[in-house]
Amino acid sequence: DVVMTQSPLSLPVTLGQPASISCRSSQSLVYSDGNTYLNWFQQRPGQSPRRLIYKVSNRDSGVPDRFSGSGSGTDFTLKISRVEAEDVGVYYCMQGTHWPWTFGQGTKVEIK
């Protein structure tokens, strides 16, 4: 199985400051069709997860533009340009290239 490794696992941030989460996969996530199926999900406290980013860098509808995704191959990053209070929660990367699909361990974002 593809192992997804996130860092850090805990991320205290100051409101209005940037935040960055790294996600590394144990093998390349480039699929045979040329796409890279790397997603980012946000899970706010007490809520179901929701997808923020798909195929590395595409924001889902309704996702604020302060969220951005980047990366390639095995190395990916989720960035929040200016953290707001509503961004508190756990963030997961997930690969959808290889079966079984696998998630990272999650990164807990909290306000300092």
Partner 1 sequence: QVQLVESGGGLVKPGGSLRLSCAASGFTFSDYYMSWIRQAPGKGLEWVSYISSSGSTIYYADSVKGRFTISRDNAKNSLYLQMNSLRAEDTAVYYCALMTGWGQGTLVTVSS
| Residue from 25, 36, 39, 74 binding partner 1 (CB under 8 A) | 39
Q: 């593809």: which residue's tokens?
A: 2
Stretch that binds partner 1, among 27-35, 64-72, 73-81, 86-94 (CB under 8 A): 86-94
Structure tokens at 55: 């195929």
Q: Is 32 in the site for partner 1 (CB under 8 A)?
A: no
| Residue from 60, 66, 68, 88 binding partner 1 (CB under 8 A) | 60
Least distance between partner 1 and beta carbon 5 (Å): 12
Instruction: Confirm if 109 and 89 have CB atoms less than 8 A apart.
Output: yes
| Residue from 102, 109, 110, 111 binding partner 1 (CB under 8 A) | 102
Contacts of 92 (CB under 8 A, 6+ apart): 6, 40, 41, 43, 49, 103, 104, 106, 107
